[in-house]
Amino acid sequence: MTDAQFSKLVEQYQRMIYTVCYQMVQNQAQAEDLAQETFLSAYLHIDRCPPEHYGPWLSRIAINKSKDYLKSAWRRRVSTPGEDAMPQTSTAQLGSYQPGPEDLAVSQSEAEAICNMVNDLREPYLQVCQMYFLQQNTVDEIATKLGRPPKTVHTQLYRAKQMLQQQIRERSGIG
């Protein structure tokens, strides 16, 4: 498999893999790291899987990476910022965890704040982010609709994510 083909594979499955990881670990930063580890592992062992089974295979790698993280001694010893507010759950409890009204209210207010941050971005990031984050368009769809090369859309999303992360850090008092 060529690097270009693998890049397309990553683009096709990145949201799904991130979602799998996030559902397991309930931490955005750690889910991003685990998704990257998933794709790194897949890249190294891509010859072990037939192309028609990439989706389930990648999901299984993501689940295994997440399980390994959840039972690691490092995770139990070191807490990341924001974990103090989150109740500690075991791997068995993760599937049955249902957020309470307080969690939903905080999540809703955080989502509204993030939507506002996206809507406050300046061009060329505003349209791209609205289409990607709020309307759930793919990069290829955005590129077609805006008449931009997909690589340009990727770059604009990358830069916008950095801006949004900085705003979130400042809002949280982290940085």
Which pLDDT score, from 0 to 100, does residue 86 have? 46
Q: Name the token pair of 4.
A: 């270009």
Q: Name the token pair of 96.
A: 């049955």
Q: What is the mean pLDDT of residues 64-92?
A: 61
Which pLDDT score, from 0 to 100, does residue 39 have? 92
Task: Return d(Cα 166, Cα 18) in angstroms, integer.
Answer: 21
Per-residue pLDDT tens over the stretch 122-147: 988 989 988 887 777 888 999 999 99
Which pLDDT score, from 0 to 100, does residue 160 have? 87
Per-residue pLDDT tens over the stretch 11-65: 999 999 999 888 888 889 899 999 999 999 999 888 888 888 888 899 889 988 8
Give the other-Cβ count within 10 Å of 34's Cβ.
Answer: 26
Per-residue pLDDT tens over the stretch 158-173: 898 888 888 877 776 6
Residue corresponding to tokens 């299984």: 60
- Do the Cβ atoms of 21 and 62 come closer than 8 Å? yes
Write the CB contacts of 169 (distance below 8 Å, at least 6 apart in sequence).
175
Q: Name the token pair of 94.
A: 């993760």
Which of these, 74, 62, 71, 56, lies nearest to 31 by C-alpha position? 62
Give whole-number Cα distances, 61 to 26, 57, 171, in Å. 17, 6, 34
